[in-house]
Chain A
Amino acid sequence: MATTKAEGVEQEALRVPFRLSMEYEYALGAHAERFFGELRDHGRILGVRCPSCHRVYVPPRPVCGICYAETREWVPVSDEGSLVGCTVVELPFIDPMTGERRPVPYGFAMVRLDGADTAMYHFLEETDPKKIYVGQRVKAVFCEQRTGSLLDIQNFRTLEAR
């Protein structure tokens, strides 16, 4: 039976460090451009509706994945919705996009806006895990200065207690 260790050599394990820094520039595409334009300029959230199954998708996309039908109908959705899932993150980890640790604890959830059939990840204002729950009503907190990104919504504020 073959082995892989070099015989008779005592040595410490050597690690070779290498920091890979990758820069990207992503084209948004027409649907995202319209969504973020609306968000930035009017503080409004838009989805698209599938002509076949009538699901309303946020994020909007050119095709309904289930029906493979083109989605051309734009519908406004509410800035209020419900939590489909939620957590408070306690573990600090380095955000690889900023190189900084996110300050913990922070609330993080899957939010389904009224009028949409799909949900999206976003931050919660609340950081006490006992004060958030699945089904809770929430409302988007918009930034005063908006640039056309999901962070134009600062986070979601809970509207009720259990």
Chain B
Amino acid sequence: MGRKVGIVATGQTKHGPKRLDVNLRELITEVVTRALDDAGLRTEDVDAVFLGNMEPFEGFMFPELWSVEGWGGYLKPSVKFNTGGTVGTTTTMAAYYYVAAGLYDTVLAVGFEKQSDGHTQAAITTVGDPVWERTMMAGAVGNFAVMASTYIHESGVTPEQAAKVAVKARRNACNNEYAHLQMPNLTVEEVLASQILAHPIRKLDMCPQSDGAVAMVIAEESRARKLAPRPAWIRAVATAHEQQYMGDSPKRLAIMRSQIAASQKVYKAVGITNPRKELDVAEIYEVATYAEMAMYENLGFCERGHGGKLIDEGVTSMTGELPVNPSGGVLSTNPIGATAMIRVAEAALQVMGKAGKRQVPNVRTALATGYGGNAWTDALILASD
């Protein structure tokens, strides 16, 4: 629908626990510079900038205002997005819509966050309904622990299988020069011995909090073909929202209605009927190890209840049938305003053949997903044609 749109360049900062050497504006400048250099463009060549950030984490409202100098935006248009974990994919999709519709030809999408400037768990409390949920909330950890218990009950996955997901992620991250947590020697035993945060979630089952940013140059077809030898074309996008309270979809990780709906939509749009076979790589938004296995099921990579089997059989490892999160995923890097866009950027690198040590051979079709707040989902298909 609309014009053909491709991702032609990306930039990322080295994600880490604390970037004390730059303030938030400078972090944006750093990543924008990298993306523009990757595209061989200057700020004058960019028609508009799409910014993704979760303001409560830094307590600094209106980044589209104070970051203007950081993305070369003086007297330029910009739009800012704030959609929880899905910020990065929402921002990407908005950029895609504007370019596909013909309003802009070349745009920059930027996702950024400095978790260390604020207090992540305190800010996350504001996600809960003030009257019905806020007093009970136990942060993202409590949320995922409860959801994981339901998934374990439905599927029978074990802590060992979850630990294998943790090992896969942090070892994959060693091939990613930007990743926050790189653990080449991590073992299942170490994961199982790590501190329990909330049963069954252990410290190494859970994603970190990071400072970091990502940016992508997105262009319409004729520009894209000039800017990159092999653009990552955005072939299909979908968003699906859930009902308002956390308990409205009680099994919302095990059977994530929004994830099923959004992925089915994008698969249908590009004619995929067997995602495990027809996707070459997937970068999915997995906040915790158990979540990754549940997502295998919701995304149709396997039958219901077989998420653990997939990790046991190595289907989603770098050498498996469908590598999942060659970048190390959210489990290795999590600057929330950037995280979902990092999924898209990493999927794009795979399609463009620029993923270096983490390149999966012969990638033609990639899936990128975003997960937000009360379990809503974004899904994108990127392809080489």
Contact = CB atoms under 8 A, between A and B. Distances in A.
A and B touching (Cβ–Cβ under 8 A): yes
Contacts of B150: 84-85, 110, 134
A97 B195 CA distance: 26
Interface stretch (B179-187, B211-219, B247-255): B247-255
B197 A150 contact: no
A37 interface: no
A13 B146 contact: no
A90 B292 CA distance: 23
A109 B26 CA distance: 42
A108 B130 contact: no
B75 interface: no
Contact of A94 (B21, B59, B122, B136): B122
Interface residues on A, range: 35 or more
Given A66-B243, A118-B247, A150-B136, A90 B125 contact: no
B138 interface: yes
- Central interface residue in A20, A26, A97, A121, by most chain B CB within 10 Å: A121
A85 B199 contact: no
17 contacts: A4-B26, A4-B33, A20-B59, A32-B131, A65-B244, A85-B148, A87-B138, A88-B198, A89-B145, A90-B198, A90-B199, A91-B197, A108-B142, A110-B146, A119-B247, A120-B245, A134-B153
B318 interface: no
B37 interface: yes
A110 B247 contact: yes
A91 B146 contact: no
Interface string B238-264: 000001111110110000000000000
A103 interface: no
Closest 4 CB pairs of A and B: A13-B20, A119-B247, A87-B145, A134-B153
Contacts of A57: 248
Contact of B196 (A59, A90, A94, A151): A90
Interface residues of B, number: 49
B139 interface: yes
Interface of A: 1-2, 4-5, 13, 15, 18, 20, 24, 26, 28, 32, 57, 59, 61, 65-66, 84-91, 93-94, 96-97, 102, 108-110, 112, 118-123, 129, 133-135, 149-151
A65 B196 contact: no
Nearest to A134: B153
Contacts of A15: 20
Contact of B199 (A28, A65, A87, A118): A87
A85 B250 CA distance: 8
Contacts of B133: 121
Contacts of A149: 135
Nearest to B197: A91
Contacts of B142: 87, 89, 108
A108 B201 CA distance: 13
A124 B364 CA distance: 49
B250 A110 contact: yes
